[in-house]
Structure 1
Amino acid sequence: MGRWNGSSKARVRAPATPAGEMPLIIEPQLATLVDRHPASGDWSYEIKFDGYRMLARVESGAATLITRNGHDWTSRMPRLQKALASIEADNLWLDTEAVVLDASGKPDFNALQNAFDRRSTTDIVLFVFDLLWLNGVDLREQPLRQRRKLLLQLLDAVESPLIRFSDDFADDPASLVASACKMQLEGIIGKRGDAPYRSGRSPDWIKLKCKSRQEFVIGGFSRVKGAKSGVRSLLLGVYEGDGSLRYAGNVAPHFTPSRAAAFAKRADSLRQTKSAFHNAPVPERDRDFHWLAPDIVAEVSFLEWTPSGEIRHPVFQALREDKPASAVTQEKAGTTVDDLAVESVGAPRERTGPRGTVFVRDIRISNPQRVMDKVSGLTKLDIVRYYDAIAQWALPYLHCRPLALVRAPDGIAGEQFFQKHSERARIPGIEELPASVYPNHARLLAANTPEALVGLAQMSVVEIHSWNGVAPDLTHPDRVIFDLDPDPALPWSAMLEAATLVKVVLDEIGLRSFVKTSGGKGFHIVVPLTRRQSWDEVKAFSQAVAQHITRVVPDRFSAVLGPKNRVGKIFIDYLRNGRSSSTVAAFSVRARPGLAVSMPIAWDELEEVKSGDQWSMLEAVKRQRFLYRDPWDGYWRTRQGITLAMRRAVGMK
């Protein structure tokens, strides 16, 4: 709501020396994308509005509305112009966002675009978040908190509901981001309260987004081969530091008929025979590519950037008229795995000792800069920091489970070792389970604390595998795992279909299942059990399930081990369900190029997953921090066992 206390308008005085003539143009301050909020400092947080950025200039009762790239849009918003002109001030500059709110009060970008398309802008409101100039005084050198204090006083006397103050929040920023994501907002903006206003991109303003989302230059489009009209996908690009345009993927647009016609008309004027991309995509067999001069800008949300510089799972949002194509570059988050190792409150878990030695949770990290993966350049310290940051989510699935560890002392390209026991070197933080839980064998290892995960990474452990049983009762497994291992020649769509089919079969026989990416080529389907059956019973049942699925869909599945038996098929690996067998744990890094992570997902997310190695270490932590629901919600509450009816359903006698 607009802030108005019913009092008469009062003149707000700016505590600064008059600066003379007011500038005709002020370039806006822009926020820097980051992956997490700062651990300390004088910061405030506001909602990131999904609208058009506008700077408003008012002088002698005349208001002007200017886009972030300097275009005058005053004539397109006459009601806002009138509302701004009513503010009691000789002259002023405001920094704002123009939005249209839906029925629930959330910004609706499509509704905003529709308003401009129909030339019916009466529903547009202006959220004001900064005051740059007031009554002949340049306020840009004043701290943000002082500017906003004056702004609030100024807007308290404004009666128009079209002019609203953008509130800030004192809550924990992680909670704010979670709430924003739950409400399906873009995210939040953080601003240093003690900083002046600085035009251009600045680290004093940061943005934390719910999903990756940014602008792209349209360098062309595709059509169905031979078609005379229509658009199958937009070919997207971003400018590199050397000024060249890099192809960054494609997205299917969602145009209304009027917008499709407008795009076609504009595209016709921009046609050219050669691609503007320095790495132009190769036209596909069933599509024609049409190249355009790089002038149109589209906003697209997506899951993440691939190592090759393209976007995964893109979703078209809108065409943008308010942003110049020449300014579109890849937005790179300003944090790395390094930043994820630091607590948002309290003392950091990482410190530097004498001669540059690094300690994480008081565990000394030897050779921290050793490159563990030459493809990504990630180091041993990156893996340490990842396991430290992911501990709160990984540990529940590791608690008191015997481990099998993959160590790579010289990096994943060197020799790798499989380890189940302490051997000669004691691993910091790791517990040895009592000998009684697995008699006549060396004592098994368990990771029950964050220090244990850091200790494993310090010992160059990359992969963490775990049993299907939990101490002290290692005679009865508490889960079944089906590892879907595809023929590498199969398309990813076959893997998605296979996972869905396995779920359907498990649903039909009465077993609830959960799914995670393997971090490699496929999926792991996890079925929690109450600990009633023996290892032999559970393994026999898992084999029967695999064979039953193979009988039902013989052209897609195999239940027989060996590459020759899965040509054109997916092997349902049930062999991981025997005693002392293990499977890579949820959130474990994989010792493969890129160091991807095995990531739990919800079944309704399945179609959004593009590969088994989709999540990097950084993206895994980012995802967990900003999730508004647990993808495995209900896992720990599931109480189910293998019944006689289930055995009969899969052909067991």
Structure 2
Amino acid sequence: MKFDGYRIMARIDHDEVKLFTRNGHDWTHKLPDQAKALAGLGLESAWLDGEMVVANEQGVPDFQALQNVFEAGRSGNILYYLFDLPYLNGVDLREVPVEERRAALSTVLKTSKDPLLRFSDAFGEDPEALLNSACQMQMEGLIGKRLGSPYVSRRSSDWVKLKCKHRQEFVIVGFTDPKGSRSAFGALLLGLHDRDSGELRYAGKVGTGFTEATLNSIHQQLKPLQTKKAAVVNPPSGAEFKAVHWLKPSLLAEVAFAEMTKDGSVRHAVFHGLRDDKPAKDITEERPTAVKTTPAKKTVAKPTTSKKKVEPAPSQVGLEQGKVRITHPDRVIDASTGATKVQLAQYYASVAEWILPQLKDRPVALVRAPDGIAGELFFQKNAERLAIPGITTLDQQLTGQPMMVINNAEALIGAVQMSTVELHTWNATTDNLDKPDRFVLDLDPDPALPWKRMVEATQLTLTVLDELGLKAFLKTSGGKGIHLVVPLTRKHGWDEVKDFSHAIVSHMAKMLPERFSAVSGPKNRVGRIFIDYLRNGLGATTICAYAVRTREGLPVSMPIFREEVPTLKGGNQWNIHNAHERLAEVGDEPWADLKKTRQTITAEMRRRVGMK
């Protein structure tokens, strides 16, 4: 197995044990429990090679958890997986075939009963099946080792990495300021050394994968490294980079990403942790290497030479591991941009970590476009005749027809395979479908109105909600409008919540009749904005956050900070082609507090909007 941790060499000399990183740093003081366990082997002398890891609740190595354990000084939770033994009791084993070295290591470890020391087993099964299994278990991947190979202290073609996703170290060359409610910094700017010239070049940025704690701790390490001049030879240009804080290139970030663009920038990057076990000058782009195979001796290199795009972990379920096969992948679904079915599937796979929490346990309706968005569209509320793997079907007792729930990446990508573009969700979850946990106000403008009227309308609606004492969370509609989502504790039924939202809209239309309409229909919103409250009834739905719309350019409904409203260019500002840039910058921060918000409709609120 390819472990997600720190590579550590152990030096045993009678009773003395030393533990070293690849960079030569002595970490014995950080790993006292592991050093004690190694001393218990009773060896005269030895060098052992392995990886320090911390397992998550599923038993899978978790690099972020490992860093947290180091920071907290809890080394007793760290497992030392050993996979090689270059020296033993005065004998140099480096030229001995790898399988013989590992046999000796296995024998040595059998004498230990300490649970912190583990032997890294090898597997002789078909490598493609092994890799599939490793990826489904959310492992990093596999290491292939050539039988009969010696031990060398450098990169060697006798070792090959088979990764479930693209992931490697980057040099941190700068950071951006935070936006909205985010603290410390917005995104880390990354760099890689050119393999030929050795120049440090800009390689994109990463803005997701951080917790509040890691944001602050990392920021403290970044501040002393600030410098006026960029260390990269090709610093990015544009307005968003004018206020960048450049850094001396010494810190490293472990980053997973979907792909590397032609100009050398990462897409869909996710931060996994800081590293200090390698020198920054050695960090270059890791590239797949083709390995020749023979019928008699099959190597495990084939998966690394695949030309398919590899997405972050959620897409492994959907695209790469064979659970959902995308038929007609090159079918164009948006003629205006040439976007294809597989590109739509790859978008949904790449945002699975954000959209699945919004879909979780909510009945969903699909808008399907079998002939592309210019063809006939089908609005479907149940899974009848749709063979979508992993989808959940609810009984029809409440609404008179069966309902669908999409709770996993397999069902999400399966829906796209069945020509789904849009995903619309209820305002309630399956554990209590009788009580909505939110209501939505959809600001739907006369198409002839300038965008600034939408900005003003959003700000006015927010003011009314503020006056009522209700906190709202915003998102672009992916069309011409903005949605305000008001979370509620589940106390009132559908009719009560819908009537209250209707009263808010009627109140606003009465106060500002020249701006707002409380009646639907194109004739009633000429020169005005209809605030759609009808989405708050039983069985009604609203486009899900991060979902795509069946409009030219395939725009996306994107969560936003309320402070951003004046700077928005339109309700369709983000689409499947640029959404990753937005998510890399802010992740799910605009809606980070939505689930934690506790508020309910009170009698005073009803009175203030004219309800009896």
With normalisation by structure 1, the TM-score equals 0.51
Distance, in Å, in 1 between the alignment partners of 2:523 and 2:481 is 18
CA-to-partner distance for each residue in 1:42-81, whole Å, 9 max, x for gaps? xxxxxxxxxxxxxxxxxxxxxxxxxxxxxxxxxxxxxxxx
1:268 corresponding residue in structure 2? none
1:411 is matched with which residue?
372
Work out whether 1:454 is the aligned partner of 2:413.
yes
Q: Equivalents in 2 of 1:196, 1:540: separation in Å?
A: 67
Q: How does 1:150-229 map to 2 (within 5 A)?
A: 173=170, 187-192=188-193, 195-197=195-197, 205-209=201-205
Equivalent residue, structure 2, for 1:391:
352
Match of 1:482 in 2: 441
CA-CA distance at 1:390 after TM superposition: 0.6
1:627 and 2:586 are equivalent in the alignment: yes
Aligned partners of 1:592 and 1:175: how far apart in 2? 38
One-letter code aligned to 1:608: T
2:475 corresponds to which of 507, 516, 522: 516
Corresponding residue to 1:342 among 291, 303, 310: 310
Q: Structure 1 pair 536/186, CA: closer, same or farther in 2 (3 Å)?
A: closer
1:496 CA drift (Å): 0.5
Amino acid at match of 1:301: A
What residue number does 2:509 align with? Answer: 550
Matched, 1:373 2:334: yes
Q: 2:236 aligned with 1:301, yes or no?
A: no
Paired residues of 1:481 and 1:576 also in contact (CA < 8 A): yes
CA contact (8 A) 2:204 2:266 kept: no
> How far apart, in 1, do the equivalents of 2:516 and 2:171 lie?
43
1:645 aligns with 2:583: no
1:433 aligns with one of 391, 394, 410: 394
The percentage of aligned residue pairs carrying the same residue is 45
Secondary structure of 2:513's counterpart equals: coil
Does the 8 Å contact 1:178/1:626 carry over to 2?
no
Partner of 2:527: 568
**1:340 and 1:386 in contact (8 A); partners too:** no
> What residue is the counterpart of 1:66 in the other structure?
none
1:42 paired residue number? none
344 and 410 in structure 1: CA distance in 2 versus 1, 3 angstrom threshold: closer
Query: What is the deviation of 1:520?
Result: 0.2
Give the stretch that moved more between structures: 562-571 or 427-436.
427-436
Partner Cα distance (1:394, 1:364) in 2: 21
Deviations 1:598-637 (A, max 9, x none): 0001111212211000001132233223327711121111
* Equivalent-residue separation in structure 1 for 2:172 and 2:406 (angstroms): 29
Alignment of 1:258-337 (within 5 A): 300-302=238-240
CA separation in 2, counterparts of 1:346 and 1:564? 45
- 1:340/1:389 contact within 8 Å kept: no
**Structure 2 residue runs without a partner (length 5+):** 1-154, 156-166, 208-235, 245-261, 269-305
For the residue of structure 2 that corresponds to 1:544, the secondary structure is helix
Distance in 1 of aligned mates of 2:314 and 2:171: 15
- Is residue 2:484 matched to residue 1:525? yes
**Other-structure match for 1:608:** 567
- Over residues 187-206 of structure 1, what are the superposed CA-to-partner deviations in whole Å (9 max), with x where a residue is unaligned? 5343257x22078xxxx944
- Tell me if the contact between 2:175 and 2:189 (Cα under 8 Å) persists in the aligned partners: no
Q: How far did 1:526 drift?
A: 0.4
Quote the offset at 1:342 in angstroms.
Answer: 2.6
Q: What are the superposed Cα offsets for residues 138-176 of structure 1, whole Å, 9 maximum, x if unpaired? A: xxxxxxx9xxxxxxxxxxxxxxxxxxxxxxxx9965999
Amino acid at match of 1:466: T
Are the counterparts in 2 of residues 177 and 626 from structure 1 also a CA contact under 8 Å?
no
Which residue does the alignment assign to 1:79? Answer: none
Alpha-carbon distance in 2 for matches of 1:580, 1:644: 26
Shift of 1:485: 0.5
Q: Provide, for residues 519-567 of structure 1, a one-character-per-residue CA deviation record: whole Å limited to 9, x for no partner.
A: 0001000001111111111111111000101112111111111111111
Contact kept, 8 Å, 1:179 with 1:628, in 2: the verdict is no
SS in 1 for 2:366: strand
Classify 1:543/1:173 alpha carbon distance in 2 versus 1 (closer, same or farther; 3 Å). farther
Comparing 538-547 with 426-435, greater Cα deviation is found at 426-435
**What is the alpha-carbon distance in structure 2 between the residues aligned to residue 381 and residue 638 of structure 1?**
37
Moved >4 Å (runs of 4+)? 170-187, 314-317, 331-341, 343-351
Tell whether the 8 Å contact from 1:341 to 1:389 is kept in structure 2 after alignment.
Answer: no
CA contact (8 A) 1:343 1:349 kept: no
Distance 1:445 1:523, change over 3 A: same
Paired with 1:396 and 1:479, the residues of 2 have a C-alpha distance of 15
Distance 2:512 2:385 in 1: 49
Cα distance in 2 for residues equivalent to 1:198 and 1:407: 49
- 2:379 is paired with a residue whose SS is strand
Tell me if the contact between 1:341 and 1:388 (Cα under 8 Å) persists in the aligned partners: no
Aligned partners of 1:500, 1:346: CA distance in 2, in Å? 36
In structure 1, the residue matched to 2:382 is 421
Distance 1:185 1:449, change over 3 A: closer
Q: CA deviation at 1:409?
A: 0.5
Cα displacement string for residues 11-47 of structure 1 (whole angstroms, at most 9, x for unaligned residues): xxxxxxxxxxxxxxxxxxxxxxxxxxxxxxxxxxxxx
SS of the counterpart of 1:481? Answer: strand
Deviations 1:339-397 (A, max 9, x none): 9963458995576xxxxxxx566211110110000001110001111111111111111
Q: Is this contact kept in 1: 2:317–2:410, CA < 8 A?
A: no
- Given residue 430 of structure 1, which amino acid in structure 2 is its aligned partner? I
Whether 1:585 and 2:544 are equivalent positions in the alignment is yes
Q: Structure 1 residue 497: deviation in Å?
A: 0.7
Structure 2: distance between partners of 1:505 and 1:423: 42
Q: Supply the AA of the counterpart residue of 1:649.
A: R
CA distance in 2, matches of 1:176, 1:392: 27
Counterpart residue type for residue 208 of structure 1: G
Aligned partners of 1:602 and 1:631 also within 8 Å: yes
Change (3 A) 1:410 1:333: farther
**Whole-angstrom CA distance in 2 between matches of 1:540 and 1:341:** 48
Distance in 1, matches of 2:463 and 2:171, equals 36
Consecutive unaligned residues in structure 1, runs of 5 or more: 1-144, 146-169, 212-297, 303-313, 318-330, 352-358
1:90 matched to which residue of 2?
none
Asked if the contact 2:438/2:486 (under 8 Å) is kept, the reply is yes
Please tell me the residue identity of whatever aligns with 1:207.
A
Q: Is the 8 A contact 2:171 2:191 kept in 1?
A: no
* 1:516 Cα deviation from its structure 2 partner: 0.2
**For the residues of structure 1 that align with 2:512 and 2:171, how far apart are their CA atoms?**
46
Assess if the C-alpha contact under 8 Å between 2:480 and 2:571 holds in 1: yes
- SS of the counterpart of 1:365? coil
Flag the 1:172–1:476 CA change in 2: closer, same or farther, 3 A. Answer: farther
1:580 and 1:176 map into 2 onto residues whose CA distance is: 50
The Cα shift of 1:442 comes to 2.6
Matched position secondary structure for 2:590: coil
Pick closer, same or farther for the CA change 1:375–1:343 going to 2, 3 Å. closer
Q: CA deviation at 1:315?
A: 7.6
Deviations 1:92-149 (A, max 9, x none): xxxxxxxxxxxxxxxxxxxxxxxxxxxxxxxxxxxxxxxxxxxxxxxxxxxxx9xxxx
State the AA in 1 paired with 2:453: A
Q: Is 1:404–1:419's contact at 8 Å kept on the other side of the alignment?
A: yes
